A = this chain, B = another copy of it.
Amino acid sequence: MTHQFDTETRLSPEGDGCFAGTVHPAWNIGDNPNGGYLLSLAMDALRQAAPQHADPLSVTVHYQRPGLASQPCTVRTEILRTGRTLTTARASLHQEGGARLEVLAALGELHADASHRLMPPMPPMPAPEHCLTRSGDEQGVRLPILDRVDIRLHPEEARAGAVGKAEVSGWIRFRDGRPPDALAALLFVDAFPPSVFGLLGMVGWVPTIELTVHVRRRPAPGWMLGQFRTLDMIDGRIVEDGMLWDSNGDLVAQSRQLALVRQA
């Protein structure tokens, strides 16, 4: 069965480590493509360029310019080093007018049955049917991406400024039934409302400067749970930390991003 996320992130090899495709408008936040979706396009190219190490272990992306929805894109990849267990590679996504993002990644192999010595426990959360479906109202923009991913926010955190702290949590899954995988984790950590929403109330666009994701295992099927917190807001820039767990309660990913907040 073919799923939307796979179809709409698929690039075609063009030779010399270059891949071509289209930035699909279905993953927009307002008029701009979601950053996690743009990253997923770059990751599809890296997986094709390094098929022996197709799982993302550590992925850093720097956003240089907003992407252009409905426009073609080219991803250029370069394998920096490949060893027995690890490949280090870079990728850049280009559209008319210049580079949109730059990725530096370590790729390897993840396991669904990974053993752990330390692991942050999944926080308590009401069942998805008792949470509030994310609508985008909190940012005052239309969110086409919510036709692709179903996000259920913690009912006590879903009103602007409700919790008096910069924290957002909830469930997430693809709407078309696609099971989550390591790639989806990269999308999911960038699909929740900005965590400063719980502290500041209505906020506009919170543009990401840089996002780093560590994927720790392949997720089990079902809903994933995300929790995002900003501990540090200095000079109008935040560092937001996130974690994602799978339906077994196992940690799948940790994320951290540096972003701008226009409201001081």
Contact = CB atoms under 8 A, between A and B. Distances in A.
Contacts of A217: 234-235
B81 A99 contact: yes
Given A57-B258, A118-B166, 13 more contacts: A58-B62, A60-B210, A65-B81, A80-B92, A86-B209, A106-B209, A115-B264, A117-B234, A118-B230, A118-B233, A212-B256, A216-B234, A217-B235
12 contacts: A60-B104, A62-B88, A64-B88, A88-B102, A90-B102, A104-B104, A106-B209, A111-B235, A117-B234, A117-B264, A118-B166, A216-B232
B115 A235 contact: yes
Contacts of A118: 166, 199, 230-234, 238
A114 interface: yes
Interface string A114-125: 111111100000
Interface string A221-260: 0000000001111110111000000000001001010100
Interface residues of A, number: 48
A92 B119 CA distance: 33
B58 A80 contact: no
A10 interface: no
A214 interface: yes
Contact of A99 (B80, B117, B212, B264): B80
Contacts of A264: 115, 117
Nearest to A110: B235
B258 A106 contact: yes
A36 to B, nearest CB: 17
A110 to B, nearest CB: 8
Nearest to A200: B117
Nearest to A111: B235
B120 A210 contact: no
A111 B236 CA distance: 12
Contacts of A238: 118
Contacts of A235: 110-111, 114-116, 216-217
Interface string A90-107: 101000001100101010
Interface in A46-101: 57-58, 60, 62, 64-65, 80-81, 86, 88, 90, 92, 98-99
A189 to B, nearest CB: 14
The 3 closest A-B pairs by CB, nearest first: A118-B233, A60-B60, A117-B233
Contacts of A166: 118
A63 to B, nearest CB: 9
